[in-house]
Amino acid sequence: MQIQKEEIRNAILKVAEDEFYTHGFEKASIRKIVKLAGTTIGNFYNYFDNKEALFEAVVKDEYNNFIYFLNHHDEEERPNYLWDLSDTTMWKKVLSQFVKALLPSLTRKFVILIEGSIGTKYSSTKQLIIDLLKCHFNEHVNEYNPSYELPNMGEILAEQLINGIILILRKYINDDEKKNSMLVEYILFYFIGSMGIIRKP
């Protein structure tokens, strides 16, 4: 009996992920979710208090993993001399490992967090990530090029980074190989461009 209950819960979560990905939280239909999951509205409330509780069950781990990664990515091993390299081959090698560590958090659930969370407590996730990336960028600028005079550049670059990642995820969500390659190339482009600002000429 317990296994059957777990199967029903998992079925609801799977269908809910599809629904939130397609329509976002506000337009997602609980009636549609329970129907496709093969259960009833009454039974739905045995598993989740409401639609927002269901949304949280879908995205909570993704959110926690991504925020943890952002806050601890400096712990990832990389050569100390990396910032001094102009050879993109070495950057690609290092970034491939970086993206590989990030990939478990770059899924449809990440798209849901960024684009489909309006109306939930996660609605400020995109801005939170932008703020974290902006602070990280500014830390590097202050360390390597303290005379840089455009403090708002970090926020612009951070927002564009997130928008680009979402575009890649949307376009290649069903092709992991292509998605991963595109993410490596895109993040490489982003970091190489950032180095032009971070490093003194």
Is residue 54 in a domain?
no
Q: Are 63 and 42 in contact (CB under 8 A)?
A: no
Is residue 4 predicted with pLDDT exceeding 60?
Answer: no
Q: What is the pLDDT of residues 93-145, one digit of tens each?
A: 777 777 777 777 788 999 999 999 999 999 999 999 999 888 888 877 777 67
Q: Quote the number of domains for the chain.
A: 2
What pLDDT, in 10s, does the model give residues 7-24?
A: 999 999 999 999 999 999
| CA dist list (Å): 37 to 2, 17, 109, 145 | 17, 11, 18, 55
Is 40 domain-assigned?
yes
Q: Is the domain of 65 the same as that of 135? A: yes
- Residue 141 in 3-state DSSP? helix
pLDDT in tens, 72-98: 766 555 555 555 555 667 777 777 777
Asked if residues 82 and 91 have their Cβ atoms less than 8 Å apart, the reply is: yes
Residue 55 CA, chain-centre distance (Å), reads: 16
Q: Are 183 and 193 in contact (CB under 8 A)?
A: no
| Per-residue pLDDT, 3 | 43
162 in the same domain as 94: yes
Q: Do residues 41 and 67 both lie within one domain? A: no
Length of the chain equals 201
Same domain? 118 vs 157:
yes
Letter string b/e over residues 21-52, b meaning 16 or more CB atoms within 10 A of that residue's CB: beebbeebebeebbebbebeeeebeebbeebe
Same structural domain, 83 and 113: yes
Distances from the Cα of 136 to the Cα of 54, 123, 129, angstroms? 32, 22, 11
**169/37 Cα distance (integer angstroms):** 25
Structure tokens at 165: 């990642």
Residues 144 and 97 in one domain: yes
Among the listed residues 171, 140, 173, the one whose alpha carbon sits nearest the alpha carbon of residue 157: 140
Residue 20's domain comprises 1-48
CATH number at 26 reads: 1.10.10
